[in-house]
Structure 1
Amino acid sequence: MTKTLAQVTTEFIYRDSLSNSTKLSYEVTLMPLLEKFGSYPIEIINRKLIEDYLTSLTHLSYTTHNRHQTIIQSLLNFAVQKGYIKANPATGIQQQKPNRSKGEHQDDSVIRYLTNEQLETLYQLVEPDIRLHTIVRLLHRTGARISELLSLNLEDINRDNYKFQVVGKGNKKRWCFYSKDAAILLEKYIQYYRHKPHAALFTARHPLTEIITRLSYHRVYSLWKEVTNQSHLLAGVRLHDLRHTFATERVGLMGIEELRALMGHSHIQTTLKYQKVTSLRAEQVAQNALQILLKND
């Protein structure tokens, strides 16, 4: 029986050998691909289709783009191993290089964060959905990755001290700390909206079967797209940009090593990129101020 790309992807992601955070990371990366080609038989996924899809990902930094390509290649290697296809059509496709016009370098990437105006618009739009509002607030206040947040169980939350522990990349554990406004939202969600029989912090109920499950990235992504499509200010904004916003807001307010610990970065160079972003932002503000002053002379 011929399998679709979506069916093979499900097998690939939900292997017992993968951690929950890895599974969610794969979901995040492969969801846009499945939205376009998930119903296609795996046999007709060819090199041109993969190249055209990768070319369409113009909104991604080169490092994120290359991660997408690597995961797609791993997926197709899995399909070869299972005997669904004879050869991997993605083999040999060149990875992207830094785009100098975007300010990218071999050891750098574009960091996208939300402005105050974007944040204000976002919070207005998510307010009616208490579950999504809580997720957005926690991502913004803690710097957690969406995959880390969706992996949490209710018992993982220290509700008295406003903190929780996540398992990040490389299976490294770290503490995330949230604010009182996030705590108020979280308590409201837990008390009135969370489906209590399930262990997961964020749950969902199937509309037909009424089966309660852990909230999936697919559902969060769909809700996120519905919200961001309502305002041109949020065009192209990703859930992960809330993590970048968390970091850029804290540069200068704490030591770089403390920020590194909160972000869970293995290398200090990764954290230092946020310092560069805030310097660039300060330069832009200064230049804009000079232009205004010159006009008033």
Structure 2
Amino acid sequence: MNPVIDEIIQEMLRVLDNSQLLQLKQVLQQKLGKASANQSDTKNETYISDYLAAKQVEGCSDKTIKYYQATLTMMNSSLKKNIQKVTTEDLRKYLGDYQESRNSSRVTIDNIRRIFSSFFSWLEDEDIIIKSPVRRIHKVKSSTKVKETYTDEDLERLRDSCKSKRDVALIDLLASTGMRVGELVHLNINDINFEERECVVVGKGSKQRMVYFDARSKIHLLNYLSSRHDNNPALFVSLHLPHQRMSINGIEGRLKKLGKKIVGLQKVHPHKFRRTLATNAIDKGMPIEQVQKLLGHERIDTTLHYAMVKQSNVKIAHRKYIG
């Protein structure tokens, strides 16, 4: 951009909206002999499609891309405005109406805000708009809810409720590795290194990392695999013919069914094993950076969010260091 035009645009950022800034920029470019192609005829759907393509190149999963697409498409359908004319007030009203009509949580609304922020920042980087209208929409504060973890007794009761070697091995592997259920379903038998008690999983963004399991998991996994008589390479398969690879829904459904057999143990979910591992690791003194590596988190803030330090340990630490 011409330095003079750049300086003028910067001076007018607080006064004009995106549409007006773009018109001003075009006039200045024309007068200074640097006319550019007019982007006002480009459809919003094209911008959204190009943005999603960029996120895909960055390594976002198909599930994330679909969530972004649904969120941005819904916003576009509701506002019915050229993307360059969308204002901060438009987006604030949209978020408020969305929350009220769906009784959405603050976490949900902030997730939508983050997607808007990413999208409009991309538009800004691509010189499609001058400034992002999301700049003045701040993070939505939400109360921190301490999420439950499994106790050692819970895990033993879950194992006792199992009627198959597969289910015992499944619980042990989730509990000792803390891997995501989406990572677990893609594992094959050949991926498991029993000698070193480790395996490589493919996490979010197709990133690989090493996870480790304990001796109990190794024994129960070997017992389960020796009981199988199928040729499926998958690590976990259905109990009945044709012994297909277990899906995410299949594992979630199985754990939920096992949990219903146990009095006082509600909502058994694979992600709770992951949170339990993180909490126990931190409580026992594992450095947070190593827990982050173990769980495959990009940001350490995410690890701290997953791992809730037990109140009993806080009390012990208070007596030890403060008195």
Cα displacement string for residues 133-182 of structure 1 (whole angstroms, at most 9, x for unaligned residues)? 11111010011111111110111111111110001111111101111110
Q: 1:237 to 1:281 in 2, by over 3 A?
A: farther
Q: Which gives a bigger RCO, structure 1 or 2 (Cα 8 Å, sep 6+)? A: 1
Structure 1 partner of 2:304 = 272
Aligned AA (1:199): P
Kindly state the Cα deviation for residue 231 of structure 1 after the two structures are TM-superposed. Answer: 2.2
Q: Residue 176 of structure 1 aligns to a residue in which SS?
A: strand
Cα displacement string for residues 83-117 of structure 1 (whole angstroms, at most 9, x for unaligned residues)? xxxxxxxxxxxxxx6552xx35xxxxx44311233
Query: Would you say how many aligned residue pairs link Structure 1 and Structure 2?
Result: 203
Matched, 1:235 2:233: no
Q: 1:186 to 1:211 in 2, by over 3 A?
A: same
Q: 1:286 to 1:158 in 2, by over 3 A?
A: closer
Aligned AA (1:190): L
Q: Is the 8 A contact 2:230 2:243 kept in 1?
A: no
Task: Give, in whole Å, the separation in 2 of the partners of 1:64 and 1:224.
Answer: 30
Q: Residue 233 of structure 2 aligns to a residue in which SS?
A: coil
Task: Give, in whole Å, the separation in 2 of the partners of 1:143 and 1:190.
Answer: 21
Task: Give, in whole Å, the separation in 1 of the partners of 2:316 and 2:109.
Answer: 28
> Residue 223 of structure 1 is aligned with which of 242, 251, 254?
254
Task: List alignment gaps of at least 5 residues for structure 2.
Answer: 1-55, 68-97, 116-139, 319-323
Task: Give, in whole Å, the separation in 2 of the partners of 1:181 and 1:237.
Answer: 21
Task: Give, in whole Å, the separation in 1 of the partners of 2:156 and 2:269.
Answer: 16
Task: Give, in whole Å, the separation in 2 of the partners of 1:235 and 1:284.
Answer: 27
Q: Is the 8 A contact 2:99 2:109 kept in 1?
A: no
> Residue 168 of structure 1 is aligned with which of 203, 226, 231?
203
Kindly state the Cα deviation for residue 283 of structure 1 after the two structures are TM-superposed. Answer: 3.8
Q: Is the 8 A contact 2:252 2:269 kept in 1?
A: no
> Residue 118 of structure 1 is aligned with which of 154, 160, 167?
154
Q: Is the 8 A contact 1:132 1:220 kept in 2?
A: no
Provide the aligned C-alpha RMSD in A: 3.7
Kindly state the Cα deviation for residue 185 of structure 1 after the two structures are TM-superposed. Answer: 0.2
Normalising by structure 1, report the TM-score. 0.57
Task: Give, in whole Å, the separation in 2 of the partners of 1:63 and 1:118.
Answer: 30
Q: Is the 8 A contact 1:114 1:242 kept in 2?
A: yes
Kindly state the Cα deviation for residue 22 of structure 1 after the two structures are TM-superposed. Answer: 5.4
Aligned AA (1:220): I
Task: List alignment gaps of at least 5 residues for structure 1.
Answer: 1-16, 30-49, 71-96, 105-109, 288-297
Cα displacement string for residues 195-219 of structure 1 (whole angstroms, at most 9, x for unaligned residues)? 53112111226x5xx3342112222
Matched, 1:254 2:293: no
Q: Is the 8 A contact 1:204 1:212 kept in 2?
A: yes
Q: 1:139 to 1:65 in 2, by over 3 A?
A: farther
Greater gyration radius? 2
> Residue 199 of structure 1 is aligned with which of 213, 220, 233?
233
Structure 1 partner of 2:191 = 156
Kindly state the Cα deviation for residue 263 of structure 1 after the two structures are TM-superposed. Answer: 0.7
Percent sequence identity over aligned pairs: 28
Structure 2 partner of 1:37 = none
Q: Is the 8 A contact 2:61 2:206 kept in 1?
A: no
Q: Is the 8 A contact 1:122 1:234 kept in 2?
A: no
Structure 2 partner of 1:291 = none
Kindly state the Cα deviation for residue 221 of structure 1 after the two structures are TM-superposed. Answer: 2.1
Kindly state the Cα deviation for residue 224 of structure 1 after the two structures are TM-superposed. Answer: 1.3
Structure 1 partner of 2:34 = none
Kindly state the Cα deviation for residue 222 of structure 1 after the two structures are TM-superposed. Answer: 2.1
Aligned AA (1:237): V
Q: 1:65 to 1:148 in 2, by over 3 A?
A: farther
Q: Residue 204 of structure 1 aligns to a residue in which SS?
A: coil
